[in-house]
Structure 1
């Protein structure tokens, strides 16, 4: 037996637990994927990029880029059975390759940390709206009044700091409790509940008289409205929404039993994630059109349109409260998944306890998040890279989002695809993933050729788009 064929269970970290079932893993991974990226970001970037054509490109990115990389990341985590950086190093060494390949996981862990710092601020927005909905602040309000509620929140650094702090505490507490007592217990209740509430919202949206227009906007392609920048955005969001390039699937994969089929599981997670994203669009756009709002209104869309529905529908305060509570929980499960790889790394790197690692990393992330809080108000005029035309007007919040989505996540995903596709023994991968010969051939060719080319094109456009296409 060669080193490349060594059983994946070798060198398992002592005391490492396993997911109790395949469904627990699916719910946790879907909880990571399904969050504010679906309900907050997907609808507004779809609106900004012309609707149906963007959706088609996004779905293609999920199918031919997202799923293959997800499978590769899960494979590394399950084979290594350690934190993402150590797992990447171990798989490389078993295949007689340089341990420096772990840079892919290092970039992913850093990306997860940075994303959580500003994601927590957005999660705080959702948490603050729970109180507004419960107090009936949306009842009878028009779009301008509700927009004023959101603008007032962004203008208050004190309130944003309070909600950012609360969200980070919630995330840290769950991660500190570990796999079974923390994460599994949360996601098995919260994810099905979020789907039910989202379906109720779609049901209301169908009564607005603009459901057909919204469905046409989402599903009728208009390729004339799709720019190269829109394609870049679709690819970046495919990484963002599936939690790729953040070392999350490596961390979650390290708890996955050998009896779980990785291919079917990755496809299931991707389908659930995409369904929620499309449902969010069907819930939001009818309300947008019915109230004469702009489909490409930007990041505040979810906090300006859905409250309109809750302010007009029967028992709107109740449904609004439940929705924003569950939106917080969706953000919560994603926040947990972002902190998990960072905590795993610190736990093993510095021989820390689980609780100590969670508190230390959660606090560090909270500190970085303060910069995003202030960039929405006190520092709103501060553009750190404003001397470059491409970053003119971008605040700290904007820059963190831009660089993680367009650079760090694709870099990590690209290195992972190249490593698994070209430098890991094919026999070892096929045995571990339990794929048929035809399915394995399709997957490995996507991973070797299609994914790297797509990601490289993103980099070229990001760096030289104005010169090449301007």
Structure 2
């Protein structure tokens, strides 16, 4: 994955399918599987989906197109900063625009400091499921098991370490030897696991109740807050402003359609989230449980359901393997731009850059893991209003999600819409200078910046 020098053959994806699997794998994370279905059900079912899809098409697709364009146009640079500088140079603009890529890399690095901890939970629960620990489990013992995990610094740090080692090793092997091989195994496994779980839920669960929960439109639940939630979900679930799509775009060959593939990735991301709902909620409703948001649904409610179901231990193992596959493919994508930036910044070989960045991620990530126990009473930014009760984990999450990502996306939209050379961008995207390109340009220049300002202000003020 070292940026090719003049005269070298540019490094590109082996196939369009592999590129799509890597991009979808990055976009499909744990939030798609445990958060999106719940948000849909609690906010109007298919009414929320329609609002979400509108934002995904109007915001997600254009921004993915923009990031891939910057990556592919960036003078064969693999780092987000280098790609921004390359496009800025071609457009006669200041190379200081490379700082926008730096913001994106910082955001995704901060994300990894907390994501590796959460990914570790899925591995711990997979081992438990495979050992039959969920058989006969009650709500009380399930809650206690989750609390025991949170209270154990050694278990959290151990699984955080496993995730980091796996992520670093795969990325250190480069594009073809690491990332592609991993996604070629993990993504088919993810989809197969998801299909198995949907089929299982249809047989032993209450699929009718789940379909009603997810798909029945209830416009009475649609409020301004619902619209804002759909906007935020569309922005964050696709993985905008994390430098990953820029890095992945730098390996796209010129024959790959940016516009067409952006639609496919955003559509696949949404489809996986909905299928996850049909895998989870039939089991929840079959047991008369009330769906709850976040990790509580996956790590406390579902183990109880699996414990009472036929072949529950086996299918619990399949489910948590599904979560592991989603987590690891996201980690692989998230770490790629960090490695590329480290490689460029410190002039290291690719493997050394991976291990250097990985070591920093491991050390700093330990503090996030300990936020649930040893450092739970440590609030590093309590001198700042709004951070008084936030742990290291919560502080990183807040800064990354509510400041760096919206600001980075806003600056990306401004750069690609107003600074970059219009003709070269249109040529790279592959759209004719007609209605399609002009619509994309209006969205990038006006609609998306407005939406991002709303996301930013709502995150800060809310």
Question: Smaller-chain TM-score range?
Answer: over 0.9
**Residues 143 and 291 of structure 1 are in contact (CA less than 8 Å); yes or no, is this contact kept in structure 2?**
no
C-alpha distance in 1, partners of 2:364/2:459? 25
**Residues 342 and 361 of structure 1 are in contact (CA less than 8 Å); yes or no, is this contact kept in structure 2?**
yes
Q: Which residue of 1 aligns with 2:455?
A: 458
1:306-321 alignment runs, 5 A limit? 306-321=302-317
Q: Which residue of 2 aligns with 1:364?
A: 360
C-alpha distance in 2, partners of 1:383/1:52? 40
Which segment is superposed worse, 206-215 or 126-135?
A: 206-215
Counterpart of 1:79 (choices 49, 73, 76) is 73
Q: 1:166 to 1:464 in 2, by over 3 A?
A: closer
**Post-superposition shift, 1:50?**
5.9
Alignment pair present for 1:374 and 2:376: no
Alignment pair present for 1:142 and 2:157: no
**Residues 34 and 330 of structure 1 are in contact (CA less than 8 Å); yes or no, is this contact kept in structure 2?**
yes
Q: Which residue of 1 aligns with 2:51?
A: 57
**Post-superposition shift, 1:200?**
1.8
C-alpha distance in 1, partners of 2:200/2:129? 17
Q: 1:387 to 1:352 in 2, by over 3 A?
A: closer
1:99-110 alignment runs, 5 A limit? 99-110=95-106
**Post-superposition shift, 1:119?**
0.4
**Post-superposition shift, 1:449?**
1.3
**Residues 138 and 304 of structure 2 are in contact (CA less than 8 Å); yes or no, is this contact kept in structure 1?**
yes
Question: 1:206 is paired with a residue of what secondary structure?
Answer: helix
Counterpart of 2:62 (choices 54, 68, 73) is 68
Question: 2:195 is paired with a residue of what secondary structure?
Answer: helix
Counterpart of 2:233 (choices 210, 233, 237) is 237
1:424-439 alignment runs, 5 A limit? 424-436=420-432, 437-439=434-436
Alignment pair present for 1:262 and 2:258: yes
Aligned CA-pair RMSD: 2.3
Q: Which residue of 2 aligns with 1:441?
A: 438
- Give unpaired runs (5+ residues) of structure 2: none
C-alpha distance in 1, partners of 2:202/2:129? 21
C-alpha distance in 2, partners of 1:401/1:228? 24
**Post-superposition shift, 1:264?**
0.6
Question: 1:43 is paired with a residue of what secondary structure?
Answer: helix
Alignment pair present for 1:351 and 2:347: yes
**Residues 39 and 302 of structure 1 are in contact (CA less than 8 Å); yes or no, is this contact kept in structure 2?**
no
Counterpart of 1:19 (choices 9, 13, 34) is 13
Q: Which residue of 2 aligns with 1:41?
A: 35
**Residues 92 and 98 of structure 1 are in contact (CA less than 8 Å); yes or no, is this contact kept in structure 2?**
yes
**Post-superposition shift, 1:460?**
2.5
**Post-superposition shift, 1:307?**
2.7
**Residues 205 and 283 of structure 2 are in contact (CA less than 8 Å); yes or no, is this contact kept in structure 1?**
no
Counterpart of 1:151 (choices 147, 150, 160) is 147
* TM-score for both structures, normalised by structure 2: 0.92
Counterpart of 2:318 (choices 295, 318, 322) is 322
Which segment is superposed worse, 295-304 or 340-349?
A: 295-304
Alignment pair present for 1:402 and 2:398: yes
Alignment pair present for 1:185 and 2:177: no
C-alpha distance in 2, partners of 1:112/1:154? 24
- Give unpaired runs (5+ residues) of structure 1: 1-8, 466-470
1:166-185 alignment runs, 5 A limit? 166-185=162-181
Query: Could you report, residue by residue, the CA deviation over 1:56-114 in whole angstroms, capped at 9, with x for unpaired residues?
Result: 33222211111100000000000112111011011011101121222221110001100
C-alpha distance in 2, partners of 1:43/1:144? 24
C-alpha distance in 1, partners of 2:301/2:456? 34
Q: 1:396 to 1:139 in 2, by over 3 A?
A: same
**Post-superposition shift, 1:271?**
0.8
Question: 1:301 is paired with a residue of what secondary structure?
Answer: helix
Counterpart of 1:97 (choices 93, 97, 101) is 93
* TM-score for both structures, normalised by structure 1: 0.91
